[in-house]
Amino acid sequence: MFSSLLHPFSPNRVRRFILTAGLLSNLVAAGQSALVPAESGQVFRVADFGAIGDGVTDDSAAIRVAISAAVQAGSEATVQFDAKRYRVSADPEGDGKYCFKLAGAKQVAVQGVPGATELISSSPRAGMFGFFSCEDVRVSGVVIDYDPVPFIQGNIAAVDAAGGTFDLKVDEGYPEPQPELMKQQWGVVMDREARRFKPGTPSCVVIRSFTPLGERAWRLELGDPAEAQMITPGDAFVMRGGGDGNAVTFSKCNGGRVEDVTIHASPGLCMGFIGCEGDLVVRRVTVRPRPDTTRLLSGNVDGIHCQMARKGLLVEDCHFEGMTDDGMNTYDRVRMVTEVISPSKIRVHQTFDMRSGDRIQVMDPKTGFVKGEAGVSSVDDKVITLDKPIDGVRTSKEILKGIVSMDNHLDADVVFNLSTCGAGYIIRNNYFGNFRGRGLILRGVNGLIENNVFERTSGPGIVIANEPNWPEGPMPHDIVIRGNQLRGVGQDSQARSYGAIMVMGLGLNGISPDPTVKNIRIENNVITDPPAEGISLLACDGVTVAGNRIDADASRTFPSSDGLGLRACRGVVVSELTINDSRPKTAAGIVIGESVAPGEEGVQISGLHANLSATPVLDRRKRPSPIPHSEERQTTP
């Protein structure tokens, strides 16, 4: 745990900070060229501004001046770090949410030496880099870490199942709980030796209260006392410490890149893209717990969180491990309809960044039914004029109270902007594994998920779905899932309800009764050791499942399981599907639910290779029409 950095306020360190501050004052007074707006393409070495990089001295002030000089210099300026370890902290003159905050920067790069430049923050609640309203900015070649770390980690010493509590002994070198500062009071049970989520435990263990017992011991009261049955003395337990910033944030930026960066810890998101446009790239980024420590976590929240982006992210050649939330989430925020002026003119509670020429989707959140899509002719305050009418839109005079609201978004239709949902994302050649959450949870449209590896996530590997209860959207369509490997995903206590790949249309009360997710292609994926289902298709229309393989042995068993499950679907075409399933309670290779459209209107199957003791196809429709299964074979293991 960085034993050499345990005394951040040592007298020697304070002296060095004063000397550095004096140097900066002298530079300003003397009008040194290092602080004068420079010509395009100038390099600003943090060493020239007094940054020492010895891992002990706080170099934040010097680095902030270097960054300010680069921003003032205009386009194509670079802030250059040496191959050193820099101790940094939150900006005391700002809001305290970031160590380094850049606003209005244009074509500025923050650049280190890949694998050799380390930024170690002493502020566990603050993010590292925040880019706000910037243009074509980049972070590359740095390692981001925290000491102290922004999370709580310890060992479960005792469990009182009857009382619904357990005792946590916090590991030496890790912070103890501060309930008053923890926005989300929940944690995760971990397998310390394997350094990953413990299979069969809840994905989210909510804590109702904290009682200090002394000597780094705490008694934690469970929100759900029944979860005590799933926790064992000797298990590890981790919790987010609470924080206001992310390792890297881009907010309302036009173009942002993170390349050749390693993130060992983050108080919030590892990378956040909020309301951005232009080219958004994450390439060769590694998120994982620091290898030379006993840490069980990396980022406190998502690996990548993409909200309201006008262009989908390109994410490639990355490694995501150790977070307490999803590998990547992309979505648009909801707008609730408050007035229907006419079928082509509606008022919403908030338009956000809606523009003329955008395309919107209107949805009934109760059922998930998409009432229509249309172009935006104009936006005047909160009134949207459409280029064609959408009939039957429902209104409400209530106003949505927040991102998560369960009490007042039930009685009105909602609007999602298809132009700010991260459309056109490409996620390829990445590793997502060993963390609490879903590998990918994607709400956007026109996406490609290709040649990734998903391994031992607590939730499903890939989820393509809307989520009306958060509420996030839109209803996805036109997505390709190709050439991925999914191994042992869906490890938590709800795995009996999961598929390794899940494509879903959802209403507030569960699966949409109408096929609403459209034009999805799932091809040439290999699924090994899945949860209850290999592939789950729920409320889908026009899905192609081609050339996939599902291998399931008896090491994981569920009350009921199958290879491919269909419910409330139509237009599904299955070809060359191989299913090897030796689980004792597998109902069938393919299970067709009773809500699937009749006959081949619902599903067509060809080239099914089913090696299992159960029936290859179980059709639960009331009047099933015969479905041909060419080249089908069945063997009993």
Q: pLDDT tens digits, residue range 138-173?
A: 999 999 999 999 999 999 999 999 999 999 999 999
Does 390 score more than 60 pLDDT? yes
* Polymer length of the chain: 637
Whole-prediction pTM value?
Answer: 0.91
Does 112 score more than 70 pLDDT? yes
- What pLDDT score does 140 carry? 98
Residues 6 or more apart whose Cβ sits within 8 Å of residue 626? none
* pLDDT per position as a tens digit, 414-454: 999 999 999 999 999 999 999 999 999 999 999 999 999 99
- What pLDDT score does 74 carry? 82
Contact criterion met (CB below 8 Å) for 414 and 338: no
Does 356 score more than 90 pLDDT? yes
Q: What is the rounded radius of gyration, in angstroms, for the C-alpha atoms of the chain? A: 26
How much is the average pLDDT of 75-83?
95
Least confident among 97-111, 255-269, 528-542, 611-625: 611-625
Does 632 score more than 70 pLDDT? no
Spatial separation of the C-alpha atoms in residues 379 and 359, rounded to whole Å: 12
Confidence band (pLDDT; 50, 70, 90) for 627? low
Does 369 score more than 80 pLDDT? yes
- What pLDDT score does 506 carry? 96
Closest CA to 380 of 344, 416, 356, 412: 356
Least confident among 123-137, 409-423, 538-552: 409-423
Residues 6 or more apart whose Cβ sits within 8 Å of residue 203? 188, 436, 437, 458, 459, 492, 493, 494
- What pLDDT score does 180 carry? 81
- The continuous run of DSSP H or E covering 20 comes out as helix 11-30
- What pLDDT score does 28 carry? 35
Buried b (16+ CB within 10 A) or exposed e, 285-311: bbbbbbeeeebbbbbbbbbbbbbbbbb
- Give bridge partners of residue 173 from the DSSP assignment: none
Spatial separation of the C-alpha atoms in residues 578 and 571, rounded to whole Å: 20
Spatial separation of the C-alpha atoms in residues 245 and 241, rounded to whole Å: 12
* pLDDT per position as a tens digit, 398-419: 555 544 444 445 578 999 999 9
Spatial separation of the C-alpha atoms in residues 402 and 539, rounded to whole Å: 28
How much is the average pLDDT of 37-53?
84
Closest CA to 203 of 189, 192, 182: 189
* pLDDT per position as a tens digit, 58-72: 999 999 999 999 999
Spatial separation of the C-alpha atoms in residues 532 and 494, rounded to whole Å: 10
Say whether 445 sits in a helix, a strand or coil: coil
- What pLDDT score does 410 carry? 59
- What pLDDT score does 4 carry? 29
- The continuous run of DSSP H or E covering 616 comes out as strand 615-619
- What pLDDT score does 411 carry? 72
Does 634 score more than 80 pLDDT? no
**Could you please report the per-residue DSSP string of 349-371?**
S--TT--TT-EEEEE-TTT--EE
* pLDDT per position as a tens digit, 574-611: 999 999 999 999 999 999 999 999 999 999 999 999 99
Spatial separation of the C-alpha atoms in residues 134 and 131, rounded to whole Å: 6
Does 381 score more than 50 pLDDT? yes
Spatial separation of the C-alpha atoms in residues 43 and 190, rounded to whole Å: 45
In terms of DSSP bridges, do strands 186-191 and 165-170 run parallel, antiparallel, or are they unpaired? unpaired
Phi first, then psi: give them for residue 77, nearest 5 degrees.
-95, 145
Spatial separation of the C-alpha atoms in residues 56 and 63, rounded to whole Å: 15
How much is the average pLDDT of 345-364?
95
Q: Identity (one letter) of the amino acid at 165?
A: T
- The continuous run of DSSP H or E covering 67 comes out as helix 60-73
Contact criterion met (CB below 8 Å) for 46 and 141: no
Contact criterion met (CB below 8 Å) for 343 and 393: yes
Q: For 195, left (φ over 0), alpha (ψ -120 to 50), or beta?
A: left
Confidence band (pLDDT; 50, 70, 90) for 635? very low
Q: The tokens of 209 are what?
A: 């209260």
Confidence band (pLDDT; 50, 70, 90) for 471? confident
Q: The tokens of 323 are what?
A: 């977070």
- What pLDDT score does 226 carry? 96
Q: How high does pLDDT run on average in the chain?
A: 90
Spatial separation of the C-alpha atoms in residues 349 and 358, rounded to whole Å: 18
- What pLDDT score does 38 carry? 37
Phi first, then psi: give them for residue 469, nearest 5 degrees.
-80, -20
Confidence band (pLDDT; 50, 70, 90) for 391? very high
Q: Identity (one letter) of the amino acid at 518?
A: K
Does 382 score more than 80 pLDDT? yes
- What pLDDT score does 481 carry? 98
Say whether 454 sits in a helix, a strand or coil: strand
C-alpha angle 497-503-524 in degrees, rounded to nearest 5: 105
- What pLDDT score does 631 carry? 45
Q: The tokens of 373 are what?
A: 């899509």
Confidence band (pLDDT; 50, 70, 90) for 94? confident
Does 29 score more than 90 pLDDT? no
Closest CA to 448 of 475, 471, 424, 412: 424
Higher per-residue confidence, 132 vs 637:
132
Residues 6 or more apart whose Cβ sits within 8 Å of residue 533? 498, 499, 500, 561, 562, 563, 564, 565
